[in-house]
Amino acid sequence: MVRNHVISLADISDADLYRIVDRGARFASGAWQDETLGGAVVGVYFRATSTRTRTAFSSAALRLGARVITYGPHDLQLNTGETMADTGRVLGGMLDALVARTAGSTEELRALASQDRMAVVNAMSALEHPTQALTDLTAITGHFGEPAGRRVLYMGEGNNTAAALALALPRYPGTELHLRTPAGYGVDPEVLVRAKEFAAQHGSTVTERHDTADLPSGVDVVYTTRWQTTGTSKADPDWREGFVPFQVDEAVMQSSPDAVFMHDLPAHRGDEVTAAVLDGPRSIAFTQAEAKMHSAAAVLEWSLGAL
């Protein structure tokens, strides 16, 4: 089998990005093909909590005929000092793919991927959540038909979900990504530079501001994430005060009457989003969550050369 790693979306070509998203959308439409990964063994290693991503990859692997081995945060000899590179070499002799959530540096995942026998999928690092953006594009494709030309307003912390979205959406022609993030909590500057390079290549735009004045109207998608990113904490005890203006409420949605609402979940009603928006008729957050399984199936197929 071919081994393709998914460490950062910046590493993946436009053509492969489109293939993964299109395949995920086909899975979402019910076009499952059994046993495309028959005989494969997929490891699932999560060092941080997960509901959607862990279940999505486990379920997708099983539906495609693979076998799954799961590891919790205390199961591997990493806890006794074995290096990531050595762990990758050992697992690479036994697994076809490893889906790993370290919530640490991307370099940890690159160390796991330094062998050539096992595909490694980044299920969330501190800097980037690539499989979330692939899910988001799958959900957008399912709802609108294609991501090209879509205008997205993202409000909240410039976290790993925002970073992944910034590295993915601008690669579709004519898209707009408006990032509104609290001061001091913006998207990583290097990610933003790379996102703007992608945008320039594809006739798209990426902008970031640290206020909520003059929000763009008539967007297609309003997107937010929880204010306290999984596995992290904020040094400033008064951080919440700076986040309050970035809540997505009915007033925000009214400025874009045809927009859908997206959230990577878990959600905290009353913080980043009101219950009226999250549970309202324009929310596709739970359809988006289900799309994670469809996208995971596409990622696994691509990673193991079945796509």
Where b means 16+ CB within 10 Å and e means fewer, 84-121 reads: bebbbbebbeebbbbbbbbbbebebbbbbbebeebbbb
130-289: CATH number: 3.40.50.1370
Q: Is residue 145 scored above 80 in pLDDT?
A: yes
Model pLDDT, residue 179: 98
The rounded mean pLDDT for the chain is: 96
Confidence of residue 183 (pLDDT cuts 50, 70, 90): very high
pLDDT per position as a tens digit, 15-74: 999 999 999 999 999 988 778 999 999 999 999 999 999 999 999 999 999 999 999 999
Class of domain 9-129+292-303: alpha beta
Report the predicted TM-score, pTM, of the whole model to 2 decimal places: 0.96
Tell me the β-bridge partners of 283.
Answer: 261
pLDDT per position as a tens digit, 96-107: 999 999 988 999
Model pLDDT, residue 2: 81
Model pLDDT, residue 234: 86
Model pLDDT, residue 1: 66
Residue ranges per domain, the chain?
9-129+292-303, 130-289
